[in-house]
Amino acid sequence: MAAGIDRRRFLRFAGAGVAGTSVAGCMGGSQSSSSKKLQGGPLKIGVLAPEPGNNPIGASIANSAKLAAKQLNDDGGVLGANVEVSVKDTKEDPATGKRKYQELTVGEQVDLTTGVFTSEVQMNLMSSIAQQQTLHMSTGAATPEATRKVAQNYDRFKYYFRVGPVNSHYLGQNMVDFAKANFESMGWKSVAILAEDYKWTEPISKALTGSLSQAGIDVPINKRYAGGTQNFSPIYDQVANAGVDAAYVVMAHTGTSAVVQWHKQKRPFEFGGIHVPMQLPSYYKAVNGACRYAVTQNSATPTSKITKKTVPYANAYQKANGKYPVYTGYITFDAVKMYAEAVKQAKSKEAGKVIPKLENMSYTGTTTSSLEYYGKDHEYPHDVKYGKKYAWPVWLQWRETGGSGSQEVIWPENLASTKYQAPPWIN
């Protein structure tokens, strides 16, 4: 819109004006009491999640937003306003995601949108977020392209924040950091990098290329395989033939087929990296234990005491839903709580007033004690900060304990519950 004022903003300002006049008329112009209360009805949060009814990643997003809202409401709401959550299914499809986003912002007039799992869906929303000027706190998609847009045009895209996970560039950096700290003791002198060919893995491949070799790790295979791959036998033959110690993987959509085939075929190499399905606490049962001895990076686990909030949140989620959440749950819970804190500090839910509060906040969440965002002049403004003091993922290995599987943290050391163990079929 050329004038820069869309219908929604016009209605909001017009509505606020009318409401303000009415309140002033009734209250005799008292400002002190109204400034403590949130104007404009309940605090509405729109959630975009893939298949929230049956996909653990989507369910974790939706249920965690509801849990956070319930806890806030039980605590008296946000500046007296009730927190309401509306969940929409993106179906992991960019077009559907955009339509649902419009329903939330234009139709339901939400104050915040959160969630979104796939980068493809997230990128398709960026122009709408800029147009609607409604705050969006992303909690699943990892592509750095989103915050690069904020860097390119801050005023237009400043409504976008990524609460987590760390962007793909830093996910790759974290894989390098893990390799430098642990590969020697794990006996991984050479690895084959296997990355599924999706947008989110591109920066990781880029970050890994060269970095591992510079760290003294031999990388004879660095492969990006087709996103639809189901038969991993030919790829594993190449990995086995290269004689590497392990496959260092970057997988989400194809991960289950890959780990099941690795385990069933008892391949002569170890297996670890970023494997999104393995982050799911109930994964062991779903794959009949095929994830045993495999390693994955994660934002948190139900038992890892990253902050004082981690375990209580995981237990509250388990109590409410009968199962533990996956990483998108921890991040969404933090997003809603952090937003509520920013609204309290701003004493307003207007994006223009909330954004500076978020930009300057250091928040203790469930996955980091210092949840902070990069500044306006950084390469990735409004992206969650990566580092030991900030968001610092945990690495876990699936092990069998008493006939069922458990996610045991192996790194960082202060959270480790066990040491890495090679699969028994590896000589």
Partner 1 sequence: MVNVLTTAVNAVMISALYALVAIGFTLIFGVGGVLNLAHGATLTIGAFTAYYATAALGLGIWTGTLAALVVAGLFSAVLYLGMIRWVQDEPIMVMILTLVTSIAVEQVFVVVFGTQPKAIPSLLPGQLSAAGITVQTNQALTFALSWLLIGALIVAVNYTQTGKAILATSMSAKGAALVGIESDRMYLYTWLLAGALAGVAGVFLGSFRTASYTMGRGPLVLSFSIVVLGGIGSIRGSVLGAYLIGFLEVFVVSYVDSSLSGLASLVVLVVVLLVKPEGLFGRELAEA
Q: Which of 277, 393, 405, 412 binds partner 1 (CB under 8 A)?
A: 277
Q: Which of 85, 186, 252, 287 binds partner 1 (CB under 8 A)?
A: 287
Helix (H) or strand (E) holding 181, with range, is helix 168-186
286/316 with CB nearer partner 1: 286
Q: In whole angstroms, how close is the CB of 335 to partner 1 at the nearest point? A: 23
Q: In whole angstroms, how close is the CB of 53 to partner 1 at the nearest point? A: 7
Count of alpha carbons within 13 angstroms of residue 264, beta-carbon side: 11
Is residue 228 involved in binding partner 1 (CB under 8 A)? yes
Q: In whole angstroms, how close is the CB of 288 to partner 1 at the nearest point? A: 5
Is residue 264 involved in binding partner 1 (CB under 8 A)? yes
Q: Which residue has the tokens 């002033």?
A: 24
As a whole number of angstroms, the distance between CA 30 and CA 290 comes to 65
Q: Which of 224, 323, 344, 347 binds partner 1 (CB under 8 A)?
A: 224
As a whole number of angstroms, the distance between CA 173 and CA 165 comes to 13
Q: In whole angstroms, how close is the CB of 2 to partner 1 at the nearest point? A: 43
237/379 with CB nearer partner 1: 237
| Coil, strand or helix at 25 | helix
Q: Which of 224, 289, 299 is nearest to 256 (CA)?
A: 289
148/323 with CB nearer partner 1: 323
Q: In whole angstroms, how close is the CB of 230 to partner 1 at the nearest point? A: 5
Taking a C-beta distance cutoff of 8 angstroms, is the pair 114, 47 a contact? Answer: yes
Structure token pair of residue 58: 């989507």
Give the start-end residues of each E strand in 215-330: 218-225, 246-251, 270-275, 295-298
Q: Which of 225, 316, 361, 421 binds partner 1 (CB under 8 A)?
A: 225
Is residue 265 involved in binding partner 1 (CB under 8 A)? yes
Q: In whole angstroms, how close is the CB of 171 to partner 1 at the nearest point? A: 21
Provide the 10 A C-beta neighbour count for residue 366: 28
DSSP assignments along 29-43, one per residue: T--HHHHHSPSSSSE
Taking a C-beta distance cutoff of 8 angstroms, is the pair 8, 132 a contact? Answer: yes
Which one of the spans 134-142, 208-216, 283-291, 332-340 is the region binding partner 1 (CB under 8 A)? Answer: 283-291
Positions in the binding site for partner 1 (CB under 8 A): 50-51, 53-56, 197, 223-226, 228-231, 233-235, 237-238, 241, 256-257, 260-261, 264-266, 277, 280, 285-288, 290
